[in-house]
Structure formats: C-alpha cells, structure tokens
C-alpha cells in the first residue's frame, strides 16, 4: 500500500515507522517544527486522573476505558498502548536513544523550572537521574549556562521544593564528592560521563530527529512541504496537496493541535473534519480547575481512528496524536503517550 503520513511530530514519525515495518511504501510530509520538538522528550503516558497523581498509568488507562468512551486510550485499550510503547522502545533503541520505564509505573523527574513531574518512559540517562534515586544523596545541578538553562536558577527553585519532599540538595558546586548525584542537561552530557541527565524544553527535537533519520534509513521518503488541501472522491481521500501532490491508498493525519498547526481556531483546516463536542467552551477563566475544556477539542474518530467527513466516516484516513479530541494532555500529562499509541495504531495498515 502507498501510505501518506502528514506531520512529523512524534505521532507521525511513529506512524511512518510502523507503516514501513509492515512493508508499505511510505511518505512522511511535514511543514516544519512540531510541539514534539519543543517538549522535554520524555513519554508522559498518564500522570493525573481527576487531579490526583497516578502511580500506575496502566491502572489509570483501565479507569478511562470504563468511563470515557471518546478518550484515545479508551478507543485503543490498554494492551494496544502497551504494544505501542514496546515498539517505541525498540525503535528508539535501534536509533541509538534507548528509553527506559514501564506502563505499570510512573517515575518523577525534575524540570528546569524547579518542579517535579510524573512521567513514564525517559531516555536512559534521564531515567537514571529520576527523583526516586535522590534519597540520601546531595543533588548537584551542573552544566554550562545556555539560552534555555541556568544552573543557578534550577538549583534555587529545587532547593525550595525538595525539603518539602524530604530530600537534600540541590545546589551548584563543581567539585563532585561521595554521595552526590550530579544532574546536567542531557545535551551537555558527554559519553562515559558519570552525571545523570536533566531534560530541558527542546530535548524532544533530538528524539524526533533521530527517529526521522531512522525512518529514512528504513526507506520512508521524507518530504518538507506544507499541505494546503485534500482531494476527496467517492468518500475516499485520494491525495494531500502542497507544492506537490501526495497520492495514497491510506493516509495518517498527524498534524498536531494549535501548536503544530493541525487545528486553526475551532477548525481542522485540511478536510474540515468533524470535531468532538465539548461542553463549556465559553469558560473565560484561563486555567480553570481540571483544565480548560478547549484543551479537549480535536478531531472526532471511530474505534479505528477514522474521522468523519461531511457526516460520513472516511475509512482510508486515520488520525493520530494531538489532532485527536476527547482528551487533555496538559492536565492529564498524556502528550507523547497518546501520540505514540495512536501513531502506532494509525500506521498499522497493509
């Protein structure tokens, strides 16, 4: 089959890798930067449910499956999410950026803003520096000042936070002694260095770039182009069109939300796909408790992730990632988890 994937954030790249692994002829078309490249590059699967932190994403997904039928995890079910994460671990390992972690357990990582957040899978060096490893150690924030990183600022912010968690440190010192755990930005960590990694905003870029290179090596055609329209005939999508036309038998739309460009206002601009119904969009409070309803807006799909076009399902199209509606990755902390799981499933055509 000829598979056209629109969008090269994490959902599109995973969709392209899966479609290629199944023997399809795959083209990955993207207009540029993605939310994925601006992220920390760790895989949040499900950090919170109803405002409560989850120790196990797997248990949280099982609850969602029971009660939220439009949530992307409910459409897939827990076993498909597990399979997708396994695939992600395999391809990242092959691409030279192995991830650690499991669906059964959330870990905690420090951010450059002095907060600690739950996540599920992380690059090995980030995983090794998880907060769970800090107990009894003095944490040292190290590394060179750069546009996006100030060791003094991170140390000061965490110094305020950590005593509340019953933990020592952190502070900035260069001498490294016994009982110290040194955290340094991932991209400043040299090979063989004994420090652990502190993820920074923008670290997602390296993951996406390496996976895109890996996809190209596997035979995916990578094209930079902005899709501006779609050709639909007889209820099927025939081609996506930018500077060139990309004809295919199956299509994956992985164009993201407002950050990626897949949503414009309250519209999916390429096909005008139906969006999920969300109550309370008029709420004026910028950050109401439980998240803004606007964050749940996105494309409505069936159990195969096929969207609705002019009232009918369009069966040779699947939607993946942040373009999907029915979930709020900001409050749930489920961004890359949903993107990887739905990307994997959407790319599963042959």
Give the residue with the Cβ less far from ligand FAD, 169 or 256: 256
Size, binding site for ligand FAD by CB under 6 A: 36
* Binds ligand FAD (CB under 6 A): choice among 3, 4, 9, 197: 9
Q: Is 206 in the site for ligand FAD (CB under 6 A)?
A: no
Q: In angstroms, what is the minimal distance from the CB of 156 to ligand FAD?
A: 22
123 contacts: CB under 8 Å, gap ≥ 6 = 41, 42, 92, 97, 98, 99, 100, 186, 197, 199, 207
The packing angle between helices 78-94 and 204-217, to 10°, is: 80
Q: Which among 76, 78, 130, 70 is positioned nearest to 99, based on CA atoms?
A: 130
DSSP letter string over 108-122?
EEE-TTS-EEEESBE
State which residue, 113 or 135, has the beta carbon closest to ligand FAD: 113
Tell me if 114 sits within 8 A of 154, measured CB to CB. yes
Our measurement of the distance from residue 291's CA atom to the centroid of its chain's CA atoms, rounded to an integer in Å, reads 18
Q: Is residue 31 within the footprint of ligand FAD (CB under 6 A)?
A: yes
Residue 111 interacting with ligand FAD (CB under 6 A): no
Considering only 19, 21, 28, 36, the residue that binds ligand FAD (CB under 6 A) is 36
Say whether residue 107 binds ligand FAD (CB under 6 A): no
Q: Which of 92, 112, 255, 331 binds ligand FAD (CB under 6 A)?
A: 255
Residue from 102, 259, 295, 316 that binds ligand FAD (CB under 6 A)?
259
Query: Could you give the 3-state DSSP secondary structure of residue 36?
Result: helix
Spatial contact of 64 and 49, defined as CB atoms under 8 Å apart: yes
Q: Does 295 bind ligand FAD (CB under 6 A)?
A: no
Q: Which residues bind ligand FAD (CB under 6 A)?
A: 6-12, 29-32, 34-36, 38-40, 42-44, 201, 226-227, 254-256, 259-262, 321-322, 329, 335-336, 339
């Amino acid at each position: 089959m000829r598979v056209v994937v629109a969008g090269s954030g994490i959902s599109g790249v995973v969709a392209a890798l899966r479609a290629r692994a199944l023997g399809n002829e795959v083209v990955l078309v993207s207009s540029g930067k993605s939310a994925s490249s601006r992220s920390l590059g760790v895989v949040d699967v499900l950090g919170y449910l109803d405002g409560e932190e989850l120790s196990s994403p797997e248990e949280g997904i099982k609850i969602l499956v029971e009660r939220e039928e439009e949530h992307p995890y409910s459409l897939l079910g827990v076993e498909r999410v597990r399979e997708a994460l396994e695939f992600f671990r395999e391809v990242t390992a092959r691409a030279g950026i192995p991830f650690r972690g499991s669906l059964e357990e959330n870990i905690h990582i420090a951010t450059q803003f002095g907060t600690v957040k739950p996540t599920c899978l992380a690059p090995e060096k980030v995983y090794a520096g998880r907060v769970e490893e800090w107990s009894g150690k003095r944490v040292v924030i190290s590394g060179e000042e750069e546009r996006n990183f100030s060791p003094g600022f991170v140390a000061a912010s965490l110094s305020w936070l950590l005593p509340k968690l019953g933990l020592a440190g952190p502070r900035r010192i260069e001498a490294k002694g016994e009982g110290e755990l040194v955290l340094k930005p991932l991209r400043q960590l040299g090979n063989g260095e004994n420090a652990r990694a502190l993820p920074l905003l923008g670290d997602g870029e390296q993951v996406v770039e390496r996976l895109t290179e890996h996809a190209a090596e596997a035979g995916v055609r990578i094209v930079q182009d902005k899709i501006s329209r779609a050709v639909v005939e007889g209820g099927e999508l025939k081609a996506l069109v930018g500077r060139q036309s990309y004809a295919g038998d199956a299509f994956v739309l992985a164009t993201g939300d407002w950050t990626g460009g897949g949503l414009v206002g309250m519209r999916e601009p390429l096909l005008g796909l139906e969006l999920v119904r969300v109550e309370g969009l008029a709420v004026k409070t910028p950050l109401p408790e439980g998240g803004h309803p606007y964050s749940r807006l996105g494309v409505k799909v069936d159990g195969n992730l096929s969207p609705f076009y002019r009232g009918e399902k369009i069966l040779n199209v699947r939607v993946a990632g942040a373009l999907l509606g029915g979930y709020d990755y900001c409050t749930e902390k489920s961004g890359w988890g949903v993107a990887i799981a739905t990307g994997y499933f959407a790319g599963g055509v042959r």
